[in-house]
Amino acid sequence: MSDTPRPELESLLSRRARTMTASAIREILKITQQPDVISFAGGLPAPELFPLGAVKQAAETALNKYGPAALQYSTTEGHPPLREWIAGRHGIPAQNVQIVTGSQQGLDLLGKILIDEGDTVLVEAPTYLGALQSFQPYLPSYAEMPTDEGGIDVDALDTLLGDLARQGRKPKLLYAIPNFQNPTGRTLSLERRRRLVELTAQHGVLVIEDDPYGELRFEGEALPSLYELGLQLAGDVNRNHVVYCSSFSKTLVPGLRDAWIEAAAPIIGKLIQAKQGADLHTPTLNQMMMTELLPLLPAQIETVRVAYQARCTHMLGQMGEHFPAGVDYTRPQGGMFLWVTLPEGLDTAALLPRAVERKVAYVPGQPFFARGGGLNTLRMSYSNATPEQITAGMRALGETFREALA
Ligand code: PMP
What pLDDT is attached to residue 124?
Answer: 98
Within a domain: 58:
no
- Nearest atom, ligand 1, residue 250 CA: 15
What is the CATH classification number for the domain harbouring 378? 3.90.1150.10
Within a domain: 64:
no
What pLDDT is attached to residue 29?
Answer: 72
What b/e readout covers 290-303, taking b as 16+ CB neighbours within 10 angstroms? bbbbeebbeebbee
pLDDT band at 10 (very low <50, low <70, confident <90, very high): confident
Most informative mutation of 29, 44, 128 for ligand 1 (most atoms within 8 A of CB)? 128
Whether 283 has a pLDDT exceeding 60, the answer reads: yes
Is residue 203 within 8 Å of residue 193, measured between CB atoms? Answer: no
- Atom 14 of ligand 1, residue of closest alpha carbon: 102
Q: Is 102 in the pocket of ligand 1 (CB under 6 A)?
A: yes
Angstrom distance (rounded) from CA 67 to CA 54:
19
The SS3 of residue 402 is helix
Look at residues 251, 276, 295 and tell me which one is the last residue of a structural domain: 295
By DSSP bridging, strand 363-364 and strand 38-39 are unpaired
What pLDDT is attached to residue 8?
Answer: 86
Angstrom distance (rounded) from CA 209 to CA 263:
11
Q: At what angle do helices 190-203 and 154-166 cross, to 10 degrees?
A: 10
User: What's the predicted TM-score (pTM) here?
Assistant: 0.96
Q: Is 249 in the pocket of ligand 1 (CB under 6 A)?
A: yes
Look at residues 275, 295, 315 and tell me which one is the last residue of a structural domain: 295
Query: Is there a single domain that holds both residue 281 and residue 325?
Result: no
What is the CATH classification number for the domain harbouring 181? 3.40.640.10
What pLDDT is attached to residue 18?
Answer: 84
State the residue range of the domain holding 310.
13-50+298-405
Q: What's the gap in Å between 102 CA and the centre of ligand 1? A: 7
Whether 274 has a pLDDT exceeding 90, the answer reads: yes
Is residue 193 within 8 Å of residue 204, measured between CB atoms? Answer: no
Query: Is there a single domain that holds both residue 228 and residue 324?
Result: no
Whether 2 has a pLDDT exceeding 70, the answer reads: no
Q: Is 383 in the pocket of ligand 1 (CB under 6 A)?
A: no
Q: Is 336 in the pocket of ligand 1 (CB under 6 A)?
A: no
Distances in Å between the Cα of 343 and the Cα atoms of 247, 323, 348, 377 are 36, 12, 10, 9
Within a domain: 65:
no
Q: Tell me, what amino acid is at 229? A: L
Is residue 98 within 8 Å of residue 259, measured between CB atoms? Answer: no
Q: What's the gap in Å between 384 CA and the centre of ligand 1? A: 16
Q: What is the pLDDT of residues 55-67, one digit of tens each?
A: 999 999 999 999 9
Look at residues 295, 326, 353 and tell me which one is the last residue of a structural domain: 295
Is residue 348 within 8 Å of residue 277, measured between CB atoms? Answer: no
Query: Is there a single domain that holds both residue 262 and residue 302?
Result: no
Q: What is the pLDDT of residues 100-147, one digit of tens each?
A: 999 999 999 999 999 999 999 999 999 999 999 999 999 999 999 999
Q: What is the pLDDT of residues 235-266, one digit of tens each?
A: 999 999 999 999 999 999 999 999 999 999 99
Is residue 328 within 8 Å of residue 341, measured between CB atoms? Answer: yes
Query: Is there a single domain that holds both residue 88 and residue 31?
Result: no
What pLDDT is attached to residue 15?
Answer: 85
What is the number of structural domains in the chain?
A: 2
What pLDDT is attached to residue 6?
Answer: 78
Q: Averaged over 199-227, what is the pLDDT?
A: 97
- At 259, give phi and psi (nearest 5°): -150, 175
What b/e readout covers 83-96, taking b as 16+ CB neighbours within 10 angstroms? bebbbeebebebeb
Within a domain: 220:
yes
Query: Is there a single domain that holds both residue 270 and residue 303?
Result: no
Q: What's the gap in Å between 72 CA and the centre of ligand 1? A: 27
The SS3 of residue 67 is helix
- Atom 8 of ligand 1, residue of closest alpha carbon: 43
Q: What is the pLDDT of residues 338-364, one digit of tens each?
A: 999 999 999 999 999 999 999 999 999
343: Cα separation from own chain's centroid: 27
Query: Is there a single domain that holds both residue 40 and residue 128?
Result: no
- Nearest atom, ligand 1, residue 248 CA: 16
Q: Is 212 in the pocket of ligand 1 (CB under 6 A)?
A: yes
- Nearest atom, ligand 1, residue 105 CA: 14
What pLDDT is attached to residue 170?
Answer: 93
pLDDT band at 405 (very low <50, low <70, confident <90, very high): very high
